[in-house]
Amino acid sequence: MSELRGVVGYFDDPDALRAGIDHFNGIRGMRPEVYTPIPDMSAIYALNPSTSGVRWFSLVGGLSGIAAALAMTIWMSWDYPVIVGGKPITSLPPYLVVAFELMVLFGSIASVIGFLFMSRLPDLTPSDAYRPPMGVDRFALYLACSDETERGRAAGELLAAGATETVDIHHAGLGRLQVNQ
């Protein structure tokens, strides 16, 4: 038998999952990982109420976009100064359009990079606990453990939290893009 990694508890529906998360919020030292096919944010934030750090990536990206656009337009205009239509070399109104577009562009790209970085993605090797039904219709909490004592406690707590079934998770040793059946 391969190495024990943890225990997964399956719940009937999102409400049961939410109740299970509330159960673990009352237990110190036990932080389960949620697996859900639905973005039920009330449940997800119940487990980890802090706001995602992605927004800082967005802010920095957006500000970088503005700075890059203004630097580019102003510097390029002065690098070869040509008066067009009697306007000043630094004509801010049209440059602000470029600044807005690059703010959106850099902010969006930074948000996606932030999401990938904070979520530790891309990661093409599936985790030991993940099973395809978790993307479709199964709601689960996963507790990592390494020995039989911990396993027994984790399974007991998962059942007490309302799990209808618990399954031991062993190291699968899967390669990239393989699927745990």
Cα dihedral value 134, 158, 128, 3, nearest 10 = -160
Q: Per CB under 8 A, does 124 bind another protein?
A: yes
Looking only at residues 39 through 58 of this chain, which bind another protein when binding is defined by CB under 8 A? 39-45, 47-48, 51-55, 58
Q: Per CB under 8 A, does 174 bind another protein?
A: no
Judged by CB, which is closer to another protein: 152, or 165? 165
Query: Could you tell me which of 7, 1, 11, 21 has the C-alpha nearest to residue 144?
Result: 7
Judged by CB, which is closer to another protein: 65, or 145? 65
Task: Look up tokens 């969006």; give the residue.
Answer: 108
Q: Is 136 in contact with 179 (CB distance < 8 Å)?
A: no
Q: Per CB under 8 A, does 173 bind another protein?
A: no
Minimum separation from the CB atom of position 173 to another protein (A): 17
Q: Is 169 in contact with 142 (CB distance < 8 Å)?
A: yes
Minimum separation from the CB atom of position 125 to another protein (A): 7
Minimum separation from the CB atom of position 148 to another protein (A): 26
Minimum separation from the CB atom of position 4 to another protein (A): 20
Q: Where are the beta strands (DSSP E) in 12-137?
A: 33-35
Q: Per CB under 8 A, does 97 bind another protein?
A: yes
Q: Write the interaction track for another protein spanning residues 55-84; mark x where CB under 8 A is met and - where it is not.
A: x--x---x---------xx--xx-xx-x-x
User: How many residues of this chain interact with another protein, rule: CB under 8 A?
Assistant: 75
Q: Per CB under 8 A, does 171 bind another protein?
A: no
d(CA 168, CA 151): 8
Burial class (CB in 10 A: 0-12, 13-18, 19+), 18: buried
Task: Give the one residue of 20, 130, 143, 154 binding another protein; rule: CB under 8 A.
Answer: 130
4 to 8, 127, 167, 173, 177: CA distances (angstroms): 12, 13, 11, 12, 22
